[in-house]
Structure 1
Amino acid sequence: MRKRMFLVAISILIIASSCSGNKLEGTKPPIPDIYIDSVDIPVVRGTYCWYECADYPSIPEIIEEIEPTVVPGNTKFSISFHYTPRPSNISIARMKQGEEKLYNQSLVTPSEQGVYYYEMK
């Protein structure tokens, strides 16, 4: 069966992230590694409050200069946190380019072709 390919632009925005227990080093929240079908997906930092607060433009503006990554549909995400303490929970929202609608959180790429943005909190 031929895999349907689609473009996906992943924007992982860590917003007001907090961890219980030990504090992480650095003044900015760490960025996780994201893989889809063994392809390393570019991750960018957005608005956050960590030890300091920083405001960034909207997701489409932030990733405007990033080339979307082509990945197969219906493929699982792999998210790796290479620091401790790891987050106790995360929330992921998927948006389709040109639509305001937020999709249910999912760790599987959609089967419908398009450019999708993801936000992780």
Structure 2
Amino acid sequence: MRKIMFLILAIGTLIIVTSCSDKNELEGTKPPIPVINLDSVDIPVVRGTYCWYECAEYPSIPEIVEKIEPTVVPATSKFTISFLYTPRPSNISIARMKQGEEKLYNQSLVTPSEQGVYYYEIDARWNYDDLVADSYYAFVIEVK
């Protein structure tokens, strides 16, 4: 009877441990594209250079988004970046460039107060014990 109870307990523990463990495995052949949302409006995002099982090179901003119509947004509005994928990136950084300029600036999640067209670059990195990957993304907005 003790052996049967021990066996049931061991099997139950194994099931719980395997069903609750986080899988840090990349799914798909390309990194997931984040959802950028501002006042219930989804802003189109383009994937750039990435390493996700294999690496792919793409142009940098603004070339990567030159064929995308800027999404018109109000000034000083907060936007969100969501990755609907597990595992989520362990680090995300955002840079912004105004149309006609060449310098990227570190950026918060608030649109600029000055009118104009702005290019954004997102650098997402997955850095876990057995998982290292990264991807760049870009989007364009017009503040009116």
- Does the CA-based 8 Å contact 1:37-1:72 persist in structure 2? no
**Which residue is 1:93 aligned to?**
95
What RMSD in Å do the two structures reach over aligned CA positions? Answer: 1.5
Aligned letter for 1:109?
T
Deviation at 1:107, TM superposition (A): 0.4
Q: 1:53 aligns with which of 25, 49, 55?
A: 55
Aligned letter for 2:114?
E
Aligned letter for 1:28?
K
Taking only the aligned residue pairs, the percentage that are identical comes to 85
- Does the CA-based 8 Å contact 2:26-2:52 persist in structure 1? no
**Taking structure 1 as the reference length, what is the TM-score of the superposition?**
0.78
Aligned letter for 1:101?
K
Rounded to whole Å, the distance in 2 between the matches of 1:118 and 1:87 is 18
Rounded to whole Å, the distance in 2 between the matches of 1:56 and 1:37 is 30
Aligned letter for 2:92?
I
Which range moved further: 73-82 or 55-64? Answer: 55-64
Rounded to whole Å, the distance in 1 between the matches of 2:89 and 2:55 is 19
Aligned letter for 2:63?
E
SS at match of 2:48: coil
Give the gaps of 5 or more residues in structure 2: 1-22, 124-144
Which range moved further: 58-67 or 40-49? Answer: 58-67
Q: Where has structure 1 moved over 3 Å in runs of 4 or more?
A: none
Give the gaps of 5 or more residues in structure 1: 1-20
Q: Which has the higher strand share?
A: 2
SS at match of 1:90: strand
* Pairs within 5 Å for 1:1-121: 22-121=24-123
**Taking structure 2 as the reference length, what is the TM-score of the superposition?**
0.66
Q: Which has the larger radius of gyration?
A: 2
